[in-house]
């Protein structure tokens, strides 16, 4: 039996109530009581506190029937803002969202350094600018989450970032000493998986999201939380060996999955073959439209090796939903059908296999959503990616 003092129980009830308000968007006190199984007196007291704090707002719906117009409750999205930062090789993307996860702005700056001593001041300056710009709102910046394209331990130490050559960096501590706001450090693939769960796949508690851009990362959501492994390094599926004694990988092994089934590996091979230094998706799309046989062969090979790794992931984790985040798969006709055809093992079981509808926004949206989750102190969020304002602003 779970027990606790009155303050603890009040906090739990508050979390339940906020989570339900966010989930429903608009809800009355009576319906909130039914949905949470909390008494009307508890609902009234908690709602009064949340209204006084400026975290929720009331509004009356148009009501044509006889009787009192229902008063609905909703989270005040403009009460505060979350800052999601995607720290990637050569660039840093800053995305600001309101408390409903709707992006307000997104800005990418190029960086010409991988040195930590030079990157840290850039982050501090940019973050301080956001804090000053939004300080006049009720809660200002409520939290900051930074996505790292590498290994992040359970205590949020950056263990290793291959393309930066960073080892055992305490970015969280260094920033919080300068900023004075809660900072959270998370692996980028985990944040992509979190975005898929929070914005799209509300009904699943067992989701895998494979990101296929600069390498291959695997974000795993199980029971509404990240599956991290012992130290926090679970999900480095890109370094699973799929071709024994194959291509040399930066990790030290040969034949790693991401050397064959990441977009970076395809770009690298095509750049060498075609003598084009700065190859883009537009190049690939043009060649596909022209029916270039070599490009089609490269895409078929990409899908073939991708399917090998996915078969392993499915058999290992038996996911409900498996989301693939790849621009190549969005470009190449019938790519999901081709992958499914390769997954013909009789012991492979999953419910859904699909290409991400969020796309390359997933990492920064997931970062914003995680900051909101921490601020609201709720077990999970159900936000709406289909909100037209979100799509228009981002």
| Nearest of 11, 20, 13 to residue 380 by alpha carbon | 20
DSSP structural state of residue 346:
T
Q: What is the pLDDT of residue 350?
A: 80
Contact 225, 193 (CB under 8 A): no
Exposure of 186 by Cβ count < 10 A (0-12 exposed, 13-18 middle, 19+ buried)? Answer: buried
pLDDT for the residue 175: 97
Q: What distances in angstroms separate CA 201 from CA 198, 269, 323, 372, one per listed residue?
A: 7, 35, 10, 18
For the chain, what is the largest distance between any 2 Cα atoms, rounded to a whole number of angstroms?
77
Q: Which domains does the chain have, with CATH numbers?
A: 6-75 (1.10.10.10), 79-193+361-393 (3.30.420.40), 204-356 (3.30.420.40)
pLDDT at 388: 39
Say what the pLDDT of residue 66 is: 61
- Which two structure tokens, joined as six digits, stand for 25? 């968007």
DSSP letters spanning 249-289:
-TTS-BSBTHHHHSHHHHHHHHHHHHT-SS--HHHHHHHHH
Q: Which residue positions in the chain have pLDDT lower than 70?
A: 1-4, 62-68, 348, 386-394
Partners of residue 256 on adjacent β-strands? 241
Rounded to whole angstroms, the Cα distance separating 205 from 289 reads 39
Decide if 145 contacts 188 (C-beta within 8 A).
no
Q: What residues contact 208, with CB distance under 8 A and at least 6 apart?
A: 193, 218, 219, 220, 221, 313, 317, 319, 321, 322, 323
Cβ atoms within 10 Å of 388's Cβ, excluding its own = 9
Specify whether the CB–CB gap between 279 and 267 falls below 8 A.
yes
Helices (H), the chain: 6-24, 29-36, 40-52, 116-133, 171-179, 188-199, 258-261, 263-274, 281-289, 293-317, 327-331, 335-342, 362-376, 388-393
pLDDT value of residue 327:
96
Q: Please name the residues in contact with 304: beta carbons below 8 A apart, sequence gap of 6 or more.
A: 342
Structure tokens at 53: 């704090």
CA distance 216 to 235: 9
- Helix axis angle for 171-179 and 116-133, nearest 10°, is 40
**pLDDT score of 1:** 45
Cα(252)–Cα(117) distance, integer angstroms: 26
């Amino acid at each position: 039996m779970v027990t606790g003092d009155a303050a603890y129980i009040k906090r739990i009830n508050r979390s339940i109530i906020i989570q339900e308000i966010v989930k429903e968007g608009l809800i009355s006190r009576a319906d909130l009581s039914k949905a949470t199984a909390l008494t009307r007196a508890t609902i009234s007291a908690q709602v009064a506190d949340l209204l006084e704090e400026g975290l929720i707002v009331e509004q009356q719906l148009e009501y044509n029937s006889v009787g009192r117009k229902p008063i609905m409750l909703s989270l005040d999205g403009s009460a505060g803002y979350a800052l999601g930062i995607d720290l990637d090789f050569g660039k840093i993307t800053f995305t600001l969202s309101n408390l409903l996860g709707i992006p307000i702005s997104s800005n990418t700056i190029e960086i010409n350094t991988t040195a930590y001593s030079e990157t840290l001041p850039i982050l501090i300056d940019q973050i301080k600018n956001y804090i000053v710009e939004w300080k006049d709102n009720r809660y200002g910046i409520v939290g900051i989450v930074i996505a790292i394209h590498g290994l992040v331990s359970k205590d949020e130490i950056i263990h290793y970032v291959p393309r930066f050559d960073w080892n055992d960096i305490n970015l969280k501590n260094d920033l919080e000493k300068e900023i004075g706001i809660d900072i959270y450090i998370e692996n980028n693939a985990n944040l992509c998986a979190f975005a898929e769960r929070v914005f799209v796949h509300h009904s699943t508690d067992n989701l895998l999201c494979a990101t296929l851009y600069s390498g291959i990362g695997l974000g795993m959501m199980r029971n509404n939380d990240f599956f991290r492994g012992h130290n926090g390094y679970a999900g480095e599926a890109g370094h699973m060996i799929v071709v024994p004694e194959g291509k040399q990988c930066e990790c030290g092994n040969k034949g790693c999955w991401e050397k064959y089934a990441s977009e970076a590996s395809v770009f690298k091979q095509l750049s060498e073959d075609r003598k084009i230094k700065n190859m883009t998706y537009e190049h690939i799309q043009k060649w596909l439209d022209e029916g270039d046989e070599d490009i089609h062969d490269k895409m078929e090979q990409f899908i073939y090796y991708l399917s090998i790794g996915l078969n392993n992931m499915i058999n290992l984790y038996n996911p409900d939903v498996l989301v693939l985040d790849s621009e190549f798969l969005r470009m190449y006709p019938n790519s999901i059908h081709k992958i499914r055809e390769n997954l013909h093992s009789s012991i492979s079981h999953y419910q859904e296999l699909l290409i991400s509808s969020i796309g390359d926004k997933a990492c920064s949206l997931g970062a914003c959503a995680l900051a909101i989750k921490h601020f609201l102190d709720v077990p999970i969020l159900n936000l709406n990616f289909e909100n037209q304002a979100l799509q228009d602003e981002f």
